[in-house]
Amino acid sequence: MVVALEKVLEKPAGFGRWQGALSLVFENRGGKTYLTHRSHQGPLLVQRPFYPEGPVCHIYLIHPPGGVVGGDQLTIAIDCCVDTDVLVTTPAAGKFYRSNGQLADQHVLLKVAEGSVLEYLPQETIMFDGAVVKMNTRVELNENSRFFGWEMVSLGRPACHEGFSHGQATVAIEVFKHDQPLLIDRMVLNEQTIKASSGLANHALVATLVVYPATKAHLDKVRMMIDEHRFSGVTLRNEVLIVRLLAEQAEPVKTVFTAIWAALRPDFNQRQSCLPRIWST
């Protein structure tokens, strides 16, 4: 089962801060994946499950409609039990607003049991100027479990000519199998990181894609797909494929990442791509 979330309590309304928690458990019943447990506190919600491709369960996470501010704490726990097939996405970008000096914290725990597949495909996260944020996504794998996920972080809103000259975002992605680390990826993002040639090289958006398990054939295929993108890279370690892209805006990255997902999905999930309906609205 997922970690208990009952200890995450909402603050009194007068404090004006969210203590949000969402717990989801998926089980295989008769060859079809069902959302069998759902609990939430605060603003985190999910819409009803969708089944656009038979047994695969598509879920849309709904983040706080007003965005996240300093002092907010969000905890998301997703438990994919044995032989389940789950796709999780969000209907819109996540937003972290200017901090009042307090940290905004988001922790995501993704458990993928034996024989299960989890595709975690959220929209981008926008860090408004002055935001102070810590985001951690931890994936826990088991035997014959498979994972495909990404994280896209925009520092400021370049399309609105809004930069990120104040604040800081610490973003971590961790992948474990049997409590052994396969990937520990942490970035500290601020104005200095944006400007540094060894950092984001004046790009506002950094995106990371992770696939497990992956092979050299997958590495070669993805390398060809991103070859025309100057600020990109792909590596393969411990059967984990890691793709990194730098860009000015999210849309070009979404296009590339979706193409990679479509190209690799027949291998890691034995299915053709089936875009979440919400992406078309």
Over the stretch 105-142, which tens digit does the pLDDT of each residue have? 999 999 999 999 999 999 999 999 999 999 999 999 99
Distances 231 to 20, 98, 212, 245 between C-alpha atoms, Å: 36, 28, 23, 6
pLDDT digits (tens, 9 = 90+) for 88-102: 999 999 999 999 889
pLDDT at 170 over 70: yes
Closest-CA residue to 175 (of 86, 236, 264)? 236
Task: Quickly state the pLDDT bin for 9 (edges 50, 70, 90).
Answer: very low
Please report the pLDDT score of residue 198 as a whole number: 87
C-beta separation of 151 from 207 below 8 A: yes
pTM of the model: 0.92
Whether the upstream peptide bond of residue 64 has omega within 30° of 0, thus cis, is: no
Mean pLDDT score, 260-275:
96
Task: Quickly state the pLDDT bin for 204 (edges 50, 70, 90).
Answer: very high
DSSP 8-state symbol, 278: G
Q: Can you say how many angstroms the Cα of residue 204 is from the centroid of all Cα atoms in its chain?
A: 18
pLDDT digits (tens, 9 = 90+) for 17-72: 678 999 999 999 999 999 999 999 988 899 899 999 999 999 999 987 778 989 99
Q: What percent of the chain has pLDDT over 90?
A: 81
| Residue in this structure with the two tokens 């996260």, named with its chain if needed | 125
Please report the pLDDT score of residue 155 as a whole number: 95
C-beta separation of 128 from 158 below 8 A: no
pLDDT digits (tens, 9 = 90+) for 216-238: 999 999 999 998 888 999 999 99
Structure tokens at 161: 């000519």
Alpha helical stretches, state H, the chain? 191-195, 216-225, 250-268
Please report the pLDDT score of residue 16 as a whole number: 54
Cα separation of the two ends of the chain: 34
Three state DSSP letters for the chain: CCCCCCCCCCCCHHHCCCEEEEEEEEEEECCEEEEEEEEEECCCEECCCECCCCCCEEEEEECCCCCECCCCEEEEEEEECCCCEEEEECCCCEEECCCCCCCEEEEEEEEECCCCEEEEECCCEEECCCCEEEEEEEEEECCCCEEEEEEEEEECEHHHCECCCCCEEEEEEEEEECCEEEEEEEEEECHHHHHCCCCCCCCCEEEEEEEECCCHHHHHHHHHHCCCCCCEEEEEECCEEEEEEEECCHHHHHHHHHHHHHHHHHHHCCCCCCCCHHHHC
Structure tokens at 153: 């972080």
CB atoms within 10 A of CB 217: 9
pLDDT at 5 over 60: no
Mean pLDDT score, 147-167:
92
Please report the pLDDT score of residue 118 as a whole number: 99
Q: Where are the domains of the chain?
A: 18-198
Rounded CA separation 129/247 (Å)? 18
Mean pLDDT score, 178-204:
94
pLDDT at 8 over 60: no
